[in-house]
Amino acid sequence: MSEVETRIEELKRRRGAVVLAHNYQLPEVQDIADHVGDSLELSRVAARIDAEIIVFCGVHFMAETASILAPDKTVLLPAHDAGCPLANMITAAQLRELKRLHPKATVVCYVNTSAEVKAESDYCCTSSNAASVVASLTEAKEIIFVPDRNLGGYVSEQTGREMILWDGYCHVHEWITEEDISHQKSLHPAATVIVHPECTRPVRDLADKVLSTGGMVHFVRDSEASAFIVGTEVGMLHRLKKENPAKQFYPATQRGVCPNMKRTNLQRVLRSLEHMEHEIRVPLEIAKKARRSVERMVAISARPSVARQQ
């Protein structure tokens, strides 16, 4: 263990802190974390964990979500400059205008949104439970889904529900093309193709499975396949390789890198713990409104899926 890692472990014990890391983080950050997961998994951990301090290795909206679910805890974001271009594609003012145009619509927002947008929404969701959330809205006449058009399109395919989609997207997943998948399949014809639902439909149509990052972890673990082409941010491959050393993993493209997810490193984690810097705290009134939609997300994720199977 390096000197930086040793110091981080010492400070975690002294301060009663836990480190949460998203699946897209740098390998060394994932390895120092107490919990590694997707947005939903880490939201659950933040809500229930017995710790005074949460060091969130991810991007801004993730730390905000942790603060909403755990208002009594101190949430630190080591990379305070780590934003999310997708989350920035819709503002609370834009959502309020969309709601004005569709006053009877139920609003479902992807977790990749600001706290202000969550406060304007009826339900929050992640890529792992978006279809279940939408399928549960049996009484809704109209559904607004923001901000990811690709995830929204996938949810419509899975549930049979037409929705009003915002024209947002994750540029990292849009960098993955059908040509990339076809090329990798030509190189590794026996490999199983798994892609994230933020990918475009042509890419999803070439996949054997469309899965959240958490879903990828479980699918690969249980699969009899020995090789996988992975269509998501390249940081995901570290966890998959670490947990499945006998299996082979190939990125759909080396372009699939999120610069914001790579802003966190061990030195920034250490500084955050040393100085208790970059605390994320959502204003009380916004947090109160946003908590309703986020808690619904967590609650629905615990139910059996009611979405149509792919």
Could you tell me the CATH number of the domain that includes residue 296? 3.40.50.10800
> Stretch 166-174: mean pLDDT, rounded?
97
Q: Return all residues near 82 (Cβ < 8 A) that are at least 6 apart.
A: 58, 59, 60, 260, 261, 263, 264
Pick the range with the lowest mean pLDDT from 139-143, 216-220, 298-302.
298-302
| Residue 40: predicted pLDDT | 78
Q: Is there a domain that residue 142 lies in?
A: yes
The pLDDT of 167-175, averaged and rounded, is 97
Task: Tell me the per-residue pLDDT of 79-106, one tens digit each, with 9 for 90 and over.
Answer: 999 999 999 999 999 999 999 999 999 9
157 domain residue, yes or no: yes
Claim to verify: residue 16 and residue 61 sit in the same structural domain: yes
Helix intervals (H) in the chain: 3-15, 27-32, 39-48, 60-69, 92-101, 115-119, 130-135, 149-159, 171-174, 178-187, 201-205, 213-222, 236-243, 266-275, 284-301
- pTM metric for this prediction: 0.93
pLDDT digits (tens, 9 = 90+) for 237-248: 999 999 999 999
**CB 55, CB 11: distance < 8 Å:** no
CA angle 141, 143, 145 (to 5 degrees): 175
Q: 309: Cβ–Cβ under 8 A, 6 or more apart, which residues?
A: none
| Shared domain check, 297 and 152 | yes
Q: How far is CA 280 from the centre of its chain?
A: 18
Domain that holds residue 220: 176-251
How confident is the model over 42-71, as a mean pLDDT?
A: 93
User: Looking at the predicted structure, is the pLDDT value of residue 305 above 50?
Assistant: no
Beta bridge partners, 194, equal 209, 230
290 pLDDT exceeds 70?
Answer: yes
Shared domain for 165 and 128, answered yes or no, is yes
What is the secondary structure of 79-114 as a DSSP string?
A: STT---TTGGG--HHHHHHHHHHSTTPEEEEESSS-
191 part of a folded domain: yes
**Of 29-33, 95-99, 300-304, where does mean pLDDT reach its minimum?**
300-304
140 shares its domain with 271 = no
CA 195 → CA 211, 230, 255, distances in Å? 6, 6, 15
- Find tokens 């049996």 and name the residue: 138
- pLDDT level of residue 309 (50, 70, 90 thresholds): very low
CB under 8 Å to 152, separation ≥6 — which residues?
Answer: 145, 163, 165, 166
Q: Are residues 200 and 223 in the same domain?
A: yes
Mean pLDDT of 149-175: 97
Q: Determine the pLDDT at residue 67.
A: 94
* Single-letter amino acid, residue 38: D
Supply the pLDDT for residue 301. 62
Q: How confident is the model at residue 177 (pLDDT cuts 50, 70, 90)?
A: very high
* Span 114-135, pLDDT tens digits: 999 999 999 999 999 999 999 9
205 closest CA partner among 237, 226, 180, 178: 178
Same domain, 215 and 242: yes
The number of distinct structural domains making up the chain is: 3
With respect to residue 159, please indicate whether it lies within any of the assigned structural domains.
yes
Buried b (16+ CB within 10 A) or exposed e, 213-242: bbbbbebbeeeeeeebbbbbbbbbbbbbee
Indicate whether 146 and 293 sit together in one domain. Answer: yes
Amino acid at 126: T
Residue 284 has a pLDDT of 94
Tokens of 183: 């090329």
- For all residues of the chain together, what is the average pLDDT? 94
Q: 31 and 159: one domain?
A: no
Side-chain-side CA neighbours of 129 within 13 Å: the count stands at: 28
Q: Does 256 have pLDDT greater than 90?
A: yes
Residues 185 and 207 in one domain: yes
In a domain, 65, yes or no: yes
Residues 60 and 206 in one domain: no
145 and 294 co-located in one domain:
yes
| 207-234 pLDDT, tens digit each | 999 999 999 999 999 999 999 999 999 9
239 lies in the same domain as 275: no
Provide, rounded to the nearest whole percent, the portion of the chain with pLDDT above 70. 97
Q: Which residue has the higher pLDDT, 1 or 83?
A: 83
Whether 269 shows a pLDDT value over 80: the answer reads yes
Task: Evaluate if residue 303 carries a pLDDT over 70.
Answer: no
Q: At 207, is the secondary structure helix, strand, or coil?
A: coil
Whether the link from the prior residue into 78 is cis, omega within 30° of 0, is no
- Examine residue 23 and state whether it is found in any structural domain, yes or no: yes
Q: What is the pLDDT of residue 302?
A: 52
Mean pLDDT value across residues 252-280: 97
**309 inside domain:** no
pLDDT of residue 306 exceeding 70, the answer is no
Residue 310 forms part of a structural domain: no
